[in-house]
C-alpha cells in the first residue's frame, strides 16, 4: 500500500513537472520569434515583393516629375519682344549738359526696323530675328541714323535745321551757357519702361537699352549720376497717335481681306406654286325671234 501510494504520488507529481517544462519551452520559442523551422517558413518573397513595389512607385514619381518639368521647359518658347512682324512705337530724347536737344529729323526711308518719326517717335518694326527682341536697341538705331553716334564713351548728334550738331566724349567739360557749365560729363542712357514708370534704368551700353512698345529713352551727356529728363508730353502724345493710327490701319487691312467667294455654276429654281389656267368664256347663242 505504501509503495502504491508512493507510486501514485510520483505519478501525480510528474504531471505538473511536465507541464512546467513545456510552458518554459513555449515561452522560449515565443521570445525568439519561433524556431528554425518557423523562420524558414516566413513569407520572405511577399516582403520582397512589397519592397520592390514601393521602390518602383518612388522611381515612377521621380521620373514623372522630371518628365513634367522637362516637358514644360521644352514646349514653352519665349517670344522675343518686340516680335518679328509687329509694329510698335517708342519715344526718344537727347540731352546734353542739362539742355534737352531738338528731336531728330524724320528719316526719309521708313522701311527700316528702327525709324525716326516726328516729335521724337521711333517706329519699331522688326522683320528678322536679328532685329527683334534685345536686338532692337539704341546701338542698332544709331547705326541706321545718318550722323548719329552713340557709344559708351562718345555722343555725336547731327545738325537739325537751324540747330547745330554736337559732339561730346567722356571727360569733356560742358560749355558756358549750359545748365552744367564747367562740369565734366559722361554718356549714359536712361530708359523708362512705359509712360507710368517714374524711375528709369540707367546704362552706359547702348546695345543693352531696348527700344520697344511704349518705352521712353533719353540719351544724355552730363555729370555722372545726374538725372536725365524724361521725354516730354509732346513725344508721348505723338506715340499714342501713331499707335492708334497703326491699329486702325491694321483693322482696315483685316477687313479688306475678308471677301465672299463668288457663286459658280448655274442654279435652276423650280417653282412649286400651283398653276391656275383660265379658259376663255363659252360663246352664247341668242335665238332669233320671228316677226
Q: What is the pLDDT of residue 180?
A: 97
Please report where in the chains the cell 527700344 appears, as a residue: 211
Q: What is the pLDDT of residue 23?
A: 58
> How far is the C-alpha of 176 from the C-alpha of 97, rounded, in Å?
10
> How far is the C-alpha of 236 from the C-alpha of 89, rounded, in Å?
10
> How far is the C-alpha of 40 from the C-alpha of 20, rounded, in Å?
28
CA 54 to chain centre: 40
Separation in Å, CA 15 to CA 3, 4, 21, 23: 19, 17, 10, 12
Sign of the alpha-carbon torsion through 27, 29, 31, 34: negative
Q: What is the pLDDT of residue 284?
A: 47
> How far is the C-alpha of 131 from the C-alpha of 252, rounded, in Å?
26
Report how far apart the first and last C-alpha atoms of the chain are (Å, whole number). 187
User: Which residues, in sequence order, are bridge partners of residue 90?
Assistant: 122
Q: Provide DSSP, 185-241.
A: -EEEEEEESSTT--S-EEES-GGGSB--TT-EEEEEEESTTPPPPPP-HHHHHHHHH
Radius of gyration of the chain (CA): 49
Q: What is the pLDDT of residue 275?
A: 45
Q: What is the pLDDT of residue 2?
A: 46
Q: What is the pLDDT of residue 186?
A: 98
Closest by CA position to 119, among listed 141, 101, 103: 103
User: Which residues, in sequence order, are bridge partners of residue 121?
Assistant: 91
Q: What is the pLDDT along the chain (291 residues), one digit of tens a residue?
A: 444 444 444 444 444 444 555 556 555 545 554 445 545 555 677 777 788 788 888 888 887 777 666 655 555 567 889 999 999 999 999 999 999 999 999 999 999 999 999 999 999 999 999 999 999 999 999 999 999 999 999 999 999 888 899 999 999 999 999 999 999 999 999 999 999 999 999 999 999 999 999 999 999 999 999 999 999 999 999 999 999 999 998 889 888 766 544 555 544 444 444 444 444 444 444 455 444
Amino acid at each position: 500500500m505504501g509503495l502504491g501510494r508512493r507510486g501514485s504520488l510520483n505519478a501525480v507529481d510528474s504531471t505538473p513537472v511536465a507541464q512546467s517544462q513545456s510552458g518554459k519551452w513555449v515561452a522560449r520559442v515565443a521570445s525568439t520569434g519561433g524556431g528554425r523551422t518557423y523562420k524558414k517558413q516566413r513569407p520572405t518573397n511577399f516582403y520582397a515583393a512589397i519592397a520592390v513595389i514601393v521602390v518602383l512607385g518612388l522611381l515612377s514619381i521621380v521620373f514623372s516629375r522630371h518628365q513634367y518639368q522637362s516637358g514644360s521647359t521644352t514646349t514653352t518658347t519665349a517670344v522675343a519682344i518686340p516680335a518679328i512682324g509687329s509694329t510698335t512705337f517708342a519715344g526718344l530724347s537727347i540731352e546734353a549738359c542739362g539742355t534737352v536737344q531738338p528731336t531728330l529729323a524724320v528719316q526719309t526711308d521708313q522701311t527700316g526696323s528702327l525709324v525716326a518719326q516726328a516729335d521724337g517717335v521711333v517706329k519699331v518694326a522688326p522683320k528678322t530675328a536679328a532685329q527683334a527682341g534685345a536686338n532692337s536697341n539704341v546701338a542698332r538705331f544709331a547705326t541706321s541714323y545718318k550722323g548719329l553716334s552713340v557709344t559708351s564713351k562718345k555722343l555725336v548728334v547731327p545738325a537739325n535745321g537751324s540747330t547745330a550738331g554736337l559732339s561730346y566724349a567722356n571727360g569733356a567739360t560742358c560749355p558756358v551757357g549750359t545748365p552744367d557749365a564747367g562740369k565734366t560729363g559722361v554718356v549714359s542712357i536712361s530708359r523708362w519702361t512705359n509712360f507710368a514708370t517714374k524711375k528709369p534704368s540707367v546704362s552706359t551700353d547702348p546695345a543693352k537699352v531696348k527700344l520697344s512698345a511704349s518705352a521712353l529713352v533719353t540719351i544724355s551727356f552730363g555729370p555722372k549720376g545726374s538725372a536725365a529728363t524724361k521725354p516730354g508730353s509732346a513725344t508721348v502724345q505723338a506715340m499714342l497717335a501713331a499707335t492708334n493710327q497703326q491699329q486702325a490701319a491694321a483693322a482696315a487691312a483685316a477687313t479688306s481681306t475678308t471677301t465672299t467667294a463668288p457663286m459658280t455654276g448655274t442654279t435652276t429654281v423650280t417653282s412649286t406654286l400651283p398653276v391656275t389656267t383660265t379658259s376663255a368664256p363659252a360663246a352664247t347663242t341668242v335665238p332669233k325671234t320671228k316677226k
